[in-house]
């Protein structure tokens, strides 16, 4: 027994030698986060819109990342209205994700203004600004917990019926019903036990349950097959008749039915209009379309 106790103590001591350096490294990372001074801060006197709901306007916006030699976005101007779908398309590196990251004020612009309901986002409190937005990032993030908890992360006060409805609109209800436990099925940390398409649909459901004024979907259909993509866009259009929807996409099929398509090329707007209008007026858009669709599909 004495020998076993000595051996056990030695094992515990060895474990301590392993755990202490790890704990120290973790403590350093945590302290770095806690000591970080936010670069984006609220104005001393904040404003909020009192009339229109959901209008998003860019006025001659130019933006560059700190230390960059040239701007990522230059002279961007457009208006996204409630009840309409505004789609943004362009090649990799054209500035699509950067553009929509400016709306919730993850960064501040170098020049120009971004207005929501007529108020400069820099003059709004971040809490109010972001409460107006349902944001689905390019990389969908899920947390350890049930499917219902993950969806309710968008709105903790959502009822079970609202969660179920959001899942139906996001085309997630079918695969959820096939899982053991349904909405109580446990998602692993990071969503490692669901597919990429399932992650995206759950992230969209999370945004839907917020019922925001503005939906921002950053390439959130990329992992979906074409049929699911089409069904989701149709359901989304019915659900968001009074909201502003801004979609970033790589696939032409995802954006061609949008009320307004903005074509970005090297940080500038190369064209703006409907699918048909851009086919006749924008060479960059024609190149993107011809690289993805056959002549029959274009016609």
Strands, sheet with 56-63, edge to edge from the N-terminal-most edge strand = 73-80, 56-63, 111-116, 119-120
Confidence bin at 147 (pLDDT 50/70/90): very high
The answer on pLDDT for 194 being more than 90 is yes
CA distance readout (Å), 194 to 55, 172, 181, 269, 276:
35, 12, 14, 37, 37
> Over the stretch 67-120, which tens digit does the pLDDT of each residue have?
899 999 999 999 999 999 999 999 999 999 999 999 999 999 999 999 999 999
What is the DSSP-derived secondary structure letter of residue 132? Answer: T
> Over the stretch 283-297, which tens digit does the pLDDT of each residue have?
999 999 999 888 777
Alpha helix (H) residue ranges in the chain? 2-35, 96-101, 126-131, 147-152, 160-169, 173-177, 196-208, 226-239, 252-255, 275-281, 283-292, 295-298
CA distance readout (Å), 28 to 15, 16, 222:
20, 18, 37
Cα gap 6→182, rounded to integer Å: 49
The answer on pLDDT for 183 being more than 80 is yes
Collapsed DSSP state (helix, strand, coil) of residue 140: coil
The answer on pLDDT for 299 being more than 70 is no
> Over the stretch 256-282, which tens digit does the pLDDT of each residue have?
999 999 999 999 999 999 999 999 999
Taking residue 280's Cβ as centre, other Cβ atoms within 10 Å add up to 9
Confidence bin at 50 (pLDDT 50/70/90): low
Q: What percent of the chain has pLDDT over 70?
A: 99
The answer on pLDDT for 64 being more than 70 is yes
Q: What mean pLDDT is predicted for residues 143-156?
A: 95
Q: Which domains does the chain have, with CATH numbers?
A: 44-132+214-299 (3.40.50.300), 139-211 (3.40.50.300)
Cα gap 70→150, rounded to integer Å: 39
Confidence bin at 47 (pLDDT 50/70/90): confident
Choose among 259, 289, 276: nearest CA to 81: 259
Give the rounded distance of the alpha carbon of 72 from its chain centre. Answer: 19
Cα gap 77→269, rounded to integer Å: 8
Q: What mean pLDDT is predicted for residues 236-241?
A: 94
> Over the stretch 214-237, which tens digit does the pLDDT of each residue have?
999 999 998 899 899 999 999 999
Dihedrals phi, psi of 131, to nearest 5 degrees: -70, -20
Q: What is the pLDDT of residue 52?
A: 67
Q: What is the pLDDT of residue 48?
A: 81
> Over the stretch 106-135, which tens digit does the pLDDT of each residue have?
999 999 999 999 999 999 999 999 999 999
Q: What mean pLDDT is predicted for residues 200-204?
A: 96
Cα gap 299→290, rounded to integer Å: 11
Q: What percent of the chain has pLDDT over 90?
A: 80
Collapsed DSSP state (helix, strand, coil) of residue 217: strand
Q: What is the pLDDT of residue 115?
A: 96
Q: What is the pLDDT of residue 44?
A: 86
């Amino acid at each position: 027994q004495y020998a076993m106790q000595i051996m056990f103590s030695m094992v515990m001591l060895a474990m301590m030698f392993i755990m202490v350096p790890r704990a120290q490294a973790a403590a350093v990372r945590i302290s770095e986060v806690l000591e970080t001074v936010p670069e984006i801060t609220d104005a001393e006197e904040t404003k909020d819109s009192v009339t229109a709901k959901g209008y998003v306007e860019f006025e001659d916006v130019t933006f560059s990342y700190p230390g960059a030699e040239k701007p990522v976005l230059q002279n961007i101007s457009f208006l996204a209205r409630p009840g309409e779908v505004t789609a943004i398309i362009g090649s990799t590196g054209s500035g699509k994700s950067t553009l929509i990251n400016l709306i919730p004020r993850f960064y501040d612009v170098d020049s120009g203004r971004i207005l929501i309901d007529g108020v400069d986002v820099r003059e709004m409190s971040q809490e109010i600004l972001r409460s107006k937005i349902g944001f689905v990032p390019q990389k969908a993030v899920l947390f350890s917990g049930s499917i219902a908890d993950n969806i309710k992360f968008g709105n903790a006060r959502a009822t079970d019926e609202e969660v179920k409805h959001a899942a139906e609109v996001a085309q997630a209800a079918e695969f959820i019903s096939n899982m053991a436990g349904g909405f109580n099925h446990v998602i692993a940390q990071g969503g490692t036990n669901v597919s990429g398409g399932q992650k995206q649909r759950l992230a969209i459901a999370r945004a839907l349950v917020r019922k925001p004024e503005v939906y921002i979907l950053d390439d959130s259909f990329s992992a979906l097959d074409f049929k699911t993509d089409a069904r989701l866009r149709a359901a989304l259009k019915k659900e968001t008749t009074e909201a502003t929807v801004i979609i970033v996409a790589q696939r032409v099929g995802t954006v061609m039915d949008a009320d307004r398509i903005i074509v970005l090329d090297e940080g500038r707007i190369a064209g703006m209009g409907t699918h048909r209008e851009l086919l006749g007026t924008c060479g960059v858009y024609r190149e993107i379309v011809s690289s993805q669709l056959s002549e029959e599909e274009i016609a």
